[in-house]
Structure 1
Amino acid sequence: MQQNRNLGFMAAVGCYVLWGILPLYWHLMAEAEANEILCHRILWSVVFMLIVLVVTRRWKVLKKDCRELWHNKKRGAMLVAAAVIISLNWLTYIWAVNHNHVIDTSIGYYINPLVNVLFGVAIFGETLSAPKKLSIALAAVGIFLMTWQIGKLPWVSVALALTFGSYGALKKKLKLDPFTSITLETLLLFPFAFYYVANLTATGAAHFGPGTPALSLLLAGCGIATAVPLILFSYGANLLPLNVLGFFQYISPSMTLLLGIFFFNEPFGATQLFTFGFIWLALLVFTVSEWKAAHA
């Protein structure tokens, strides 16, 4: 039991650390447009996941899940929606990193747990405790101050939080094997990604090929960079209680925030710190509330 818990800890920490340093990886490919990087992320994720299914001998699970999805058209439609939404999330994230919005991405993933709470109320009929209501109000104040400060809604942060929150809600309703889900989501998007990359290649605008070996290797590595953290997350989720896993989810946006300030040199002064203070306070109230509820 303790061994499983330790493995869960390592998987969860590994997952969030990898997600936290992903901006560095996208930055290395800044020469390519976000659309092209996204398409390669989809294409190579399919390749990597098919290899994983072969190695782990999960073909029977994949076939079983495919049959169930075929007979249950509602679940099939939810899988298609999940694939589209996660691709929008990936595209927004890649674009933001390569257009000097790294700190905005960290805000998006900081407020994501609070968006999950709202979806829990709206979709799953969950009730909100007073501390959780307070945490959402504090986060809303933070977003309002940020909007007032920059003169427009921080759409990158909001888009990332909403798309990832929607994706999580769909996955919860689907209740699909994680390996099957990742494989099928990327397979659904594969034809569109292949068509886009083929068009780029035909017009000579592609960044994947013998003329750019280093960049091509990085683009091919998108499959591993996408699938490995998701697999680690699945293991962590299976081996750890959700309240414990929840504590680790702040590793990623915290690392991204530090990268945005110290590596990408994005502005972060007293005004930004004041705004972030409301979001951090909201997360503190939320996390303490979750911890108390789990130990009640």
Structure 2
Amino acid sequence: MPENARDDRRDAAWGALYGVAAYSAWGIVPVFWKQLRHVGAVEVLAHRTAWSLLAFAALTLATGQLRPLLAALRAPRVVAAMAATGALISANWVLFIYAVSVGRLLDASLGYFINPLLSVLLGMLFLRERLRPAQWIALGLASAGVLYLAVRAASVPWIALALAGTFGLYGLLRKVVPVGSLPGSTLETLFIAPLGAAYLLAVHLQGAGSMGHVDLRTDVLLAATGVITALPLVWFTNAARRLSLTTLGFLQYLAPSGQFLLAVLVYGEPFTSTQAASFACIWTALAVFSVDAALRARRARQMEERARRLA
């Protein structure tokens, strides 16, 4: 076997391990946030932003990404976009933490199941990407699932839609802004961390903050929010460099699947027949979407191989 082929296989194997680690971590991270349910969601978010900045800054220095970070800081368009993504990811974080703390993890998993399909729709609306027939079918099924849930439950599944919407818009902006994953994450956290730090200082001066006022376990958990946020992102970045988008797309369902199983099997959240019908529509949509992506990627590889043989 040629040396470059062995290197490619080794890279793919490591990429798969990194991808499974990242998405599995995001799938079971509600267990961590549940330990902080006695702390308000906004205060947890403030700690997460402040400690994440320290973690991202350390990773930026350790991986030699300081120069790209400084270059991004000198680009006004990038700075403005990263301020917007910082606001979006903050909203996503606090919604997810809130959902976990109030026993709505099932709604959160629904949001992350919807997200890939919403990303396709955003690509069509803002990037003029054309949808294939199978993608239209997938979007229709997912929309039917959400609509059925809203009508039967007599309420809009706002947590799911807000999580999908904020993360979908976040992904759209990160896609079009010319900045790397780690420098971008560091920069967007740089904008939101001072707000978090100011909030923590204010509540501490009032004697109402949790850190230093509850117990040592709470202090350690709050300080660990930075690592809990940054480490899966590093694994994800390593996976993205080594894997095709199709493979990465399949792996992303590990996260909401883990959240779904935790919600139903571990935390005993009710899973009604209405929710089952809604999830069935969305899971079918994801199956149609994934099979279409896999077939398209296979055809592309076959065409590349045929072109190489003819060259």
Q: Shorter-chain TM-score category? A: over 0.9
Alignment of 1:28 with 2:35, yes or no, is yes
Summarize the alignment of residues 204-219 of structure 1 with structure 2, pairs less than 5 Å apart: 204-209=207-212, 211-219=214-222
The structure whose Rg is larger is: 2
Cα distance in 1 for partners of 2:12, 2:287 equals: 24
Cα distance in 1 for partners of 2:249, 2:159 equals: 23
Corresponding residue of 1:223? 226
* CA-to-aligned-CA distance 1:211-237 (integer Å, 9 cap, x gap): 421011001100001011111111111
Alignment of 1:62 with 2:65, yes or no, is no
Secondary structure, in 3 states, of the residue corresponding to 1:193?
A: helix
Asked if the contact 2:78–2:179 (Cα under 8 Å) also holds between the matched residues in 1, the reply is no
Corresponding residue of 2:256? 253
Structure 1 residue 79 displacement after superposition: 1.1
Partner of residue 245 from structure 2, selected from 242, 245, 254: 242
Partner of residue 277 from structure 1, selected from 271, 275, 280: 280
* CA-to-aligned-CA distance 1:18-76 (integer Å, 9 cap, x gap): 00011111100001000000010000001111211222232222222222x2xxx3332
Secondary structure, in 3 states, of the residue corresponding to 1:295?
A: helix
Alignment of 1:99 with 2:64, yes or no, is no
Alignment of 1:152 with 2:155, yes or no, is yes
Partner of residue 51 from structure 2, selected from 44, 47, 53: 44
Corresponding residue of 1:190? 193
Corresponding residue of 1:164? 167
AA matched with 2:63? T
Asked if the contact 2:149–2:274 (Cα under 8 Å) also holds between the matched residues in 1, the reply is no
Cα distance in 2 for partners of 1:188, 1:32 equals: 23
AA matched with 1:41? R
Between stretches 205-214 and 30-39, larger displacement belongs to 205-214
Q: How many residues align?
A: 292
Cα distance in 2 for partners of 1:256, 1:42 equals: 22
Alignment of 1:14 with 2:21, yes or no, is yes
Task: Identify unmatched segments of 5+ residues in structure 1.
Answer: none
Partner of residue 83 from structure 2, selected from 76, 80, 84: 80
CA 1:98 to 1:211, structure 2 compared with 1: closer, same or farther past 3 Å?
closer
AA matched with 2:73? C
CA 1:265 to 1:211, structure 2 compared with 1: closer, same or farther past 3 Å?
closer
Partner of residue 144 from structure 2, selected from 125, 141, 144: 141
Cα distance in 2 for partners of 1:93, 1:229 equals: 16
Cα distance in 1 for partners of 2:109, 2:258 equals: 8
- TM superposition outliers: structure 1 runs of 4+ over 6 Å: none
AA matched with 1:54? L
Alignment of 1:89 with 2:92, yes or no, is yes
Cα distance in 2 for partners of 1:110, 1:99 equals: 20
Alignment of 1:121 with 2:124, yes or no, is yes
Secondary structure, in 3 states, of the residue corresponding to 1:51?
A: helix
Structure 1 residue 210 displacement after superposition: 6.1
Cα distance in 2 for partners of 1:41, 1:213 equals: 17
> Sequence identity, in percent?
34
Task: Identify unmatched segments of 5+ residues in structure 2.
Answer: 1-7, 300-311
AA matched with 1:44? W
Structure 1 residue 85 displacement after superposition: 0.4
When normalised by structure 2's length, the TM-score is 0.92
Cα distance in 2 for partners of 1:285, 1:79 equals: 33
Alignment of 1:2 with 2:9, yes or no, is yes
Cα distance in 1 for partners of 2:224, 2:152 equals: 38
Q: CA RMSD in A?
A: 1.1
Asked if the contact 2:141–2:281 (Cα under 8 Å) also holds between the matched residues in 1, the reply is yes
Cα distance in 1 for partners of 2:206, 2:152 equals: 42
Corresponding residue of 1:177? 180
Cα distance in 2 for partners of 1:32, 1:270 equals: 33
Cα distance in 2 for partners of 1:56, 1:125 equals: 35
